Structure 1
Amino acid sequence: MKKNMFKFFPVSAHTDHIMPGGTFVCIKGYKLNGIDFIPQALEYGARTIVIEKSQEVPSDMLMLIKSAQAQVVYVDDARAALADLSAQAAGYPAKKLRIIAVTGTKGKTTSAFLLRHMLKKAGYSVAMLSTVHNSIAKFTHKDTLTCRSGYALNNQIDTSQYGECHVNEEIFPSELTTAQPDYVHQFLKTCVDKGVEWVVLEVAAQAFSLERVRGIFFDAAIYTNFTPEHGEFYPTLKEYAQAKARILEHLKPDAPLIFNADNQAVAQSVGFYSSAIGVTKNDLTNRPYPESIMGVYNLWNIHMAALCLARVLPQYSAEHYQQLVMDFAGVPGRLEKYVLKNGACVYIDYAHSSAAVAAVLSALREKTDHLIVVNGCGGDRDKTKRPLMGCDSAAWGDLVFITSDNPRSEDPMAIITDMLAGIPPAHMYKVVVEVDREKAIRAACAQASPSSIIALLGKGPDEYVIIKGVKYPFSEKTIIANL
């Protein structure tokens, strides 16, 4: 993986990215206020300071700005201004690209990876902004038309030759599901400069609420599902649902929206849209799918991704696009499989909500008679899901280790106590508490027989742990490899 694509932005809300002559947008966050960082921004060369009209600026700060020969611009909404100014500075790159957005409580990342895979296999230059990483794959085949249409023979696609069409895909780290606007627009500008045709974009609910995708309009979208989540940000489920439904505001005229019609909350939110296409469980095909994909929920992801592409690139049917996933390698941190020396299988997964935990463990339960679960909950996040995740872990697992996972500012044992509160007394006999996550993983693997499956839930692709504001290296893959 390459280092971050950009160090400096022409417009930014973080002083680390300020460049000489640049613009610093002061955003009042939940813990910090951008106004307090104006001196650093000026020191790094900012010459325009954007401040929300509702903010009070100390007189000495205004004098400092004046002495640095910088100008102040007052705006109604600093987050909106960050998006607008970032787009303007980048030359409005989103208008020059075709963009597919994916939203939903779970399934966003897998759906994004599937869309990217199908587009690459169909011969398109494609970029992706996702939770796991960001990427740009440039189409390099000397004869684009041959690669795109020449392999469709006898109503089938010869997938064996598509690998020749792409080389040197660039992979970049990702810090958020949907990056801040300063990054997003510079990324999109790079896509335009490199000749990318399609961009697949994961869009979290917070991205709508915090104006991260303001001014970006989608050629198509997928709404995977809706379940309770992000209680730390949205006081009510209604507010969370309303944020997700804002995807309708970002669709281009007549752009298709593929949605999960069996999910009542999703159907109520977007089902009335004239170009919405609902998918039910009855629509899921029984086509073969790769070993890297398991669980009914991933059949939804495959089918909706294929149907989406069939609408925007109708030269192939949805069935054809589905066929392109047969060599799909999977998604880092999403049911990522490792095999121990004794033959037991370890699956690392990002599941960090009750619905996701249940979906993953139900899929693994079908493959073993001895399921070991290692699970924890993140600190400074939705506390209401902790007892539910504890309950689901104990309901599906034969042996359950309740442990720590990014406690952040909280006491790890307090988080574990919240999880234990949801486990019925009848299931407590199979529960082990081990605050140290590495010790919990090692103990779980030590209890495994050749036919066992160990599910490591919560961290997924993340290779760090956050304790009291400090990020420490922590890799479940490395721990497993060293057993």
Structure 2
Amino acid sequence: MVLLRDILTDVPLVRLSGTADVPVEEITADSRQVKPGTLFFAIRGLHADGHQFISQAVESGAVAVVCEDMPLQPSPHITYVQVSDSALACGLMASHFYGDPSKHMQVVGVTGTNGKTTVVTLLYQLFSRLGFRAGLISTVQNMIVDKTEPATHTTPDAILLHRLLARMHQQGCTHVFMEASSHAIHQKRIAGVHYTGGIFTNITHDHLDYHKTFENYLKAKKSFFDQLPASAFALTNIDDRNGKVMVQNTRAKIVTYALRKKADFKARIIENHLTGLQLEIDQQLVHTRLIGAFNAYNLLAAYAAARLLGQEKQEVLRILSDLKGAEGRFDYLISPNQHIIAIVDYAHTPDALKNVLQTILGFKQSSQRIITVIGCGGDRDRSKRPEMALIATHFSDQVIFTSDNPRSEDPQAIIEEMKNGLSASMLAKTLSIVDRKEAIRTACMLAQSNDIVLIAGKGHEKYQEIKGVKYPFDDKEVVKEMFALLGK
């Protein structure tokens, strides 16, 4: 329990109605979770406005309310904290409520379209191997030292985030590596987090269903670096055309990494095979288990961040050589008899799909065919659907269009949108199979000895969302099942 006064530090107030000395036992932005002693945040969201639930929160025992607009009939027994931005206030106050945990740890945020999960996972594994107690906040999972917790969002809401950081601090974590999604940045879900550093991976076409324009999407990512303190580092990929734009207004120390351009941290690909990458990093040869040019950037970002966090070069490179990537990122299996290679990857943006297919082309033999299984998510950015289909058909010998997470949309309609704009010759090498399991089965049956089957879009996900229901589904498990049948 804390006093309201104690968690109002640094919060820009419009006005305070009532006493700031009221004791606060819990905080929430969900009126259904309010109980006596709770501070309620009225936040305007995408689908609901928390201001509509202030009276319900008060009836349930809220002792104070943070809001942008005062109620027409405020309760005389309640303290109202009027602010210009409830979401921002929520992040700042949640941090204070949980004891400002991020101030006591070195927290590094990673943002960008692709690579976020892999970079934070590499850093978490690296620092754990270096002997530190580390925390991970990612799309795939959250980790508190060696304890796994399920992840429901790339970045949790502000209250859950600071609560999670507090638990990490309580468990002795010294370093935390977290993804910072564009949604979370825009919605102020990371407000109140004290970052030691930020990393920019790249930015390409994604989330325009939410941000509407690429410019808005870029601004959301850039605002993460705009808010970093002068004490932090801003590590940016300057091979990306927006790498310098991201950090042009930051107060943080700007540090660059690249494969092609001159940079503070530099790497070069020596060899790229299915067995892994051989890189030259800072003039040192290192063999890694990860595959593809995109992973060369991810490895370099992790290496540079570790060096900026004070770790020794040789030890970092030694451990990096033995690390594996995040689940569902270029996961591959080989059938025992036909030696068919199946690759499961989360690629769900045009750029990510292109990266994966170009990586496969880089090591495939002329006799091997590429069969790609691909879909697009429902209720998401529709403009990328034909682009995804075009990339898949351009780089593959055979393409099977199928369901991803159709959500509320008709999966067949999504497939038809994907096929829009494909030429007759491209359409001739495609199949449409709505049932994802059947699509994967068909791809495995079509594959001949040593062919490569890419199953893209869902990666680590263990479900398929259809009409508001999440059904159990795991691409990798389906592949294992099909390979077992082929082996009989």
Q: Same-fold call, TM > 0.5?
A: yes
Q: State how far apart, in whole Å, the 2-side matches of 1:120 and 1:100 are.
A: 15
Q: Which residue of 2 aligns with 1:339?
A: 334
Name the CA shift for 1:309/1:52 in 2 (closer, same or farther; >3 Å).
Answer: same
Q: Which residue of 1 aligns with 2:39?
A: 23
Where in structure 2 are the equivalents of 1:58-77 lying within 5 Å? Answer: 71-77=79-85
Whose RCO is larger (CA < 8 A, sep 6+)? 1
| Match in the other structure for 2:180 | 203
Residue in structure 2 matched with residue 359 of structure 1 by the alignment: 355
Q: Deviations over 1:59-111 (max 9, x none)?
A: 6xx6xx77xx6554433222112212211210111111111111111111101
Residue 39 of structure 1: how far off its partner (Å): 6.8
Q: After TM superposition, list the pairs within 5 Å mapping 1:443-462 onto structure 2.
A: 443-462=442-461
> Aligned residue for 1:153?
none
Q: Per-residue CA shift, 1:412-444, capped at 9, x if unaligned? A: 122111111143332111110111111111111
SS of the counterpart of 1:263?
coil
In structure 2, the CA distance between the partners of 1:294 and 1:16, relative to structure 1 (3 Å rule), is farther
Q: Distance in 2 between matches of 1:323 and 1:17?
A: 48
Q: 1:393 to 1:219 in 2, by over 3 A?
A: same
Alpha-carbon distance change, 267 to 188 in structure 1, aligned in 2, over 3 angstroms: same
Counterpart-to-counterpart distance in 1, 2:473 and 2:32: 25
Deviation of the 1:399 alpha carbon: 1.1
Q: Which residue of 2 aligns with 1:383?
A: 382
* Counterpart secondary structure, 2:256: strand
- 2:296 maps to which residue? 299
CA distance in 2, matches of 1:459, 1:339: 19
> For residues 442 and 36 of structure 1, do their structure 2 counterparts lie closer, same or farther at Cα, with a shift above 3 Å needed?
farther
Aligned to 1:227: 204
**Alignment match, 2:287:** 289
Q: Calculate the TM-score normalised by the size of structure 1.
A: 0.84
2:382 match: secondary structure:
coil
**Do the aligned residues in 2 keep the contact of 1:389 with 1:419 (CA within 8 Å)?**
yes
1:400 aligns with 2:408: no
The residue that corresponds to 2:437 in the other structure is 438
SS of 1:351's partner is coil
- Count how many residue pairs are aligned between Structure 1 and Structure 2: 433
Question: What residue is the counterpart of 2:316 in the other structure?
Answer: 321
Q: After superposing the two structures, state which structure 1 stretch, 71-80 or 34-43, moved more.
A: 34-43
Listed one character per residue, the Cα deviations across residues 120-169 of structure 1 (whole Å, up to 9, x for unaligned) are 122111101111111021xxxxxxxxxxxxxxxxxxxxxxxxxxxxxxx1
- The match for 1:427 is 426
Distance 2:375 2:396 in 1: 14
- Aligned-pair CA distance for 1:254: 4.2
- 2:151 pairs with one of 166, 174, 188: 174
Counterpart CA distance in 1 for 2:409 and 2:58 is 35
Which secondary structure does the structure 2 equivalent of 1:243 belong to?
helix
1:386 Cα deviation from its structure 2 partner: 0.7
* Conserved 8 A contact 1:218-1:255: yes
SS of the counterpart of 1:347? strand
Q: CA deviation at 1:467?
A: 2.0
Q: How does 1:81-120 map to 2 (within 5 A)?
A: 81-120=89-128
Letter in 1 for 2:350: S
Distance 1:35 1:375 in 2: 42
Q: Which of the numbers 277, 281, 303 marks the counterpart of 2:255?
A: 277
Q: d(CA) in 2 for partners of 1:40 and 1:448? A: 59
The amino acid across from 2:159 in the alignment is D
Paired position in structure 1 for 2:166: 189
8 Å CA contact 1:25, 1:82 repeated in 2: yes
Q: Is 1:10–1:86's contact at 8 Å kept on the other side of the alignment?
A: no
**CA–CA separation in structure 2 for the residues paired with 1:40 and 1:324:** 53
Deviations 1:234-282 (A, max 9, x none): 1222221111111223323242222111111122332575722222224
Which stretch shifts more, 193-202 or 44-53?
A: 44-53
Query: Does structure 2 conserve the Cα–Cα contact (< 8 Å) formed by 1:217 and 1:250?
Result: no
Quick check: 2:257–2:304 contact (8 Å CA) kept in 1? no
- Across the aligned residues of Structure 1 and Structure 2, the Cα RMSD in angstroms comes to 2.3
Structure 1 479/279 Cα, relative in aligned 2: closer, same or farther at 3 Å?
same
Q: Measure, in 2, the Cα distance between the counterparts of 1:456 and 1:39.
A: 49
CA distance change for structure 1 residues 42 and 453 in 2, over 3 Å: closer, same or farther? Answer: farther
* CA distance in structure 2 between the aligned counterparts of 1:427 and 1:201, rounded to whole angstroms: 40
1:413 aligns with 2:412: yes
Gaps of 5+ in 1: 1-8, 138-168
Structure 1 residue 15: Cα displacement: 4.6
The answer to whether the aligner puts 1:258 opposite 2:230 as a matched pair is: no
Contact 1:82/1:182 (<8 A) preserved = yes
**TM-score by structure 2 length?**
0.83
Letter in 1 for 2:30: H
What 5-or-longer segments of structure 2 have no aligned partner? 1-24, 261-265, 269-278, 280-284, 483-488
Distance in 2 between residues matched to 1:284 and 1:271, nearest whole Å = 23
